[in-house]
Structure 1
């Protein structure tokens, strides 16, 4: 067991932590949503623990599994004979047994910047409709617990007042440029980013960032494809490069045969480090869009579809996010 234990929920949080702290002194607890190729590469090169989120459809059994997963991990920490520092996402199911420990939060997306909607609820609308909602309803997450002593954010949006005293802003772009050529190549290898892919993003000036909208209640894959079809109907498909979200399984090539699709599982924030400037970035509400250098950000939020609006009630529109 290493000096730090990092609970990684997304590819972006992996990248953020990697740039800030590195992995040499870290045991990485990889969430079930991390792509298998990324898990395999990290497991070969660093100290990792894989969380599989078993019995997810049977809540009580899943809750017991989460708890005992954490107990086993705590036992490993105890047996290593030294104290460790805990980092990551306190909203993750693998984190359940560590919520009474002191820990630090690593940025995971827009949810880190949302305020609680009322004093009786300790979760935002992003958490409410996440697949982890059962555990989120029962604890203060994203650094709001008293024992969350530090929150590392990039500052893509204004920091909520209720956590601002805990926040340290991190210039991830600066950290990227301080890496050696070898260190950058290592990150590329982990996320399967090749030179051909990097060149694609320099060639196209309009980027569409899709998201796993079918994970939301009442939204099917066909609904999602229809939403994106309506969104881009006024654009020339030959001008668009479509980048999928790492969790998506949708075969966009079958729905949009005239659009170039990049479906490798790397976080788009890697591209934001390349000093590429786009004419337009199109998205429903992808966090990655906020990191990209673009002339125009087309962020349609939930106004583009009645089903999305029924879920979010305007709260993922960029103007409302900036007001929080």
Structure 2
């Protein structure tokens, strides 16, 4: 006799959250009449479910013939066991849609010994803002290794979570920046959500070489 390798009791968990319900997990939950919350998995498809699911399950002939057996085939949030279909647009709201904006891709300049102090690193990015971001709302995307506290030092900028790969923003058609600026981050080459890309290069840092003397 083959024993199931996975068991999930209705009494074990107060809430069950899954990111798509067309997988074996979704089938398991529906087959066992277990209710769940369906959360957006970053494809943004749950906002336009009618484009993907054309069948009105409850009015279909198969539902009338198969009854509950057909219920296990419902997915994309159409099952009665999907209590909630949650779409998270927090990042879009945070970035601000349809605003004139600039994106700065920072680097750990002090940590990588490209400048001598964190104060100089602050000056580098303050100068970039003053020269290239006039009249624009400024967003800084720190490098994952960059420990500089931009939120504390720059009160007039918004800081994007440094652990978020900037390339992910390319998948959202509502996000666009007038320009992106960086010293030498290769990430600028991997995004198309900007009208203008400004690659300053290491020569930009030469003006700060003697600042600590």
Structure with more helix by fraction:
1
